[in-house]
Amino acid sequence: MSGRRHVKDQVVVVAGASSGIGRAAALRFAAEGARVVVSARSLDGLDSLVREIKDTGGEGTAVVADVTDPAAMRAVADQAVATYGRLDTWVHVAGVLLVAALEDTTPEEFARVIDVNLLGQVHGAMAALPHLRRDGGGALIHVSSMGAKRGIPLQSAYTASKHGVDGFLEAIRVEFRHDKVPVTVTNVMPATINTPLFDNARTKLGVKPIAPPPVYPPELVADAILFAARHPVRDIVVGGAAKTLITAQAAAPRLVDAVMRRAGYRVHFTDDPKPEDAPDNLFAPLPAHDTVTGTVGDHARQHSVWTAIETRPALRYAMPLAGGAAVTAAVLTRLRARRGRARGNRPLNRLLRRR
């Protein structure tokens, strides 16, 4: 796509903006001068976000909408055009989390995760596409997860939905190229991020869950999203831990299976009790956690060398193929060494911690 506008001149929709990555991204876009339309199920969360944007000199508009409703997504896109005259970038972040073994999951719960995390992204892209085409082009930026490339135990519904997002984006990316549609498609795949996703999650573990460490700040993902709004990139992996897992999965999936069997369960457990009937946001919003950060980041990293490379064009495009081979070799060496030593007592976070 040629002639992409500078971020300060863009009209941006952020779907799933009331908390976490979406909220951080909306604030970053507004700080850069973009006109931002924010959408989520939580009116309170959106109102507080728009106030924060305007208090810092930005321009924002809120539209309450559920991503599972295609008509509501069309209304968000239409409102962006009605308010600001066009649509340049659609950022889709909305998602829910269920942490439970498959045997403890109901069909209704599994279907709801798919409905929000996968079909919601489809509805968003469908709503944005006509406006992006008509206005001369733009960007679809979809946030999935490292779970888009590797399934995680106790997250079968979540990682199934993220795998679906990955396949969906690959398909429409080729369609757009074939049909000369001037819209770029970016898949942002973060590692574990300290957002309210875990505070809001439905869990059947008896404690508040977390995903495999290390944990990174939401602002790191927001920076990656802004990079994608400036540069037509295919994928961005956020966090060296995510890159390690994705690379290892591509190179040696059975070894990753072995690591997951030994450590992929216990890394989900925290010391914070959370009964099965505790409030969650699977079927309704939970405004108590309409914040950027969550409560699982006591030891969160603030930076990622890998993401710094990914979001600097001179480094991203100059990386030789040999570098990728070296990463793969290093991952395989580490996995094999740990497989030989682990004997079931070395958790996954030690595999990932050095990233």
DSSP string of 127-174, one letter each residue: HHHHHHHHTT-EEEEEE--GGGTS--TTBHHHHHHHHHHHHHHHHHHH
248 lies in some domain: yes
Residue 1: its pLDDT value, please?
Answer: 44
Tokens for 1? 């796509």
Tokens for 241? 């831990």
Sign of the Cα torsion 166, 172, 177, 178 reads: positive
Cis peptide before 214 (omega within 30 of 0): yes
Answer whether 162's CB lies under 8 Å from 117's CB.
Answer: yes
Domain total in the chain: 1
112 lies in some domain: yes
Beta carbons within 8 Å of 330's beta carbon, 6+ residues apart: none
1 lies in some domain: no
95 lies in some domain: yes
Alpha-carbon Rg for the chain in angstroms: 20
Residue 300: its pLDDT value, please?
Answer: 66
- pTM, full prediction: 0.88
Beta carbons within 8 Å of 38's beta carbon, 6+ residues apart: 13, 14, 17, 18, 22, 26, 46, 49, 50, 53, 60, 61, 62, 63
2 lies in some domain: no
22 lies in some domain: yes
Tell me if residue 207 falls in helix, strand or coil: strand
Element containing residue 46 per DSSP (H, E): helix 43-55
| Residues designated as active site | 158
Full DSSP string of 230-294? HS--SEEEESHHHHHHHHHHHH-HHHHHHHHHHHTTGGGEEEEE--TTS--SSSS--GGG-SSS-
Residue 272 lies in domain: 7-352
What amino acid is encoded at 57 in this protein?
A: G
pLDDT digits (tens, 9 = 90+) for 119-162: 999 999 999 999 999 988 999 999 999 999 999 999 999 999 99
What amino acid is encoded at 207 in this protein?
A: V
Residue 2: its pLDDT value, please?
Answer: 45
**In terms of Cα–Cα distance, which of 1, 70, 62 is closest to 30?**
62
Low-confidence ranges of the chain (pLDDT < 70): 1-3, 298-300, 313-355
71 lies in some domain: yes
Beta carbons within 8 Å of 232's beta carbon, 6+ residues apart: 1, 4, 139, 184, 186
What CATH number does the domain containing 91 carry? 3.40.50.720
19 lies in some domain: yes
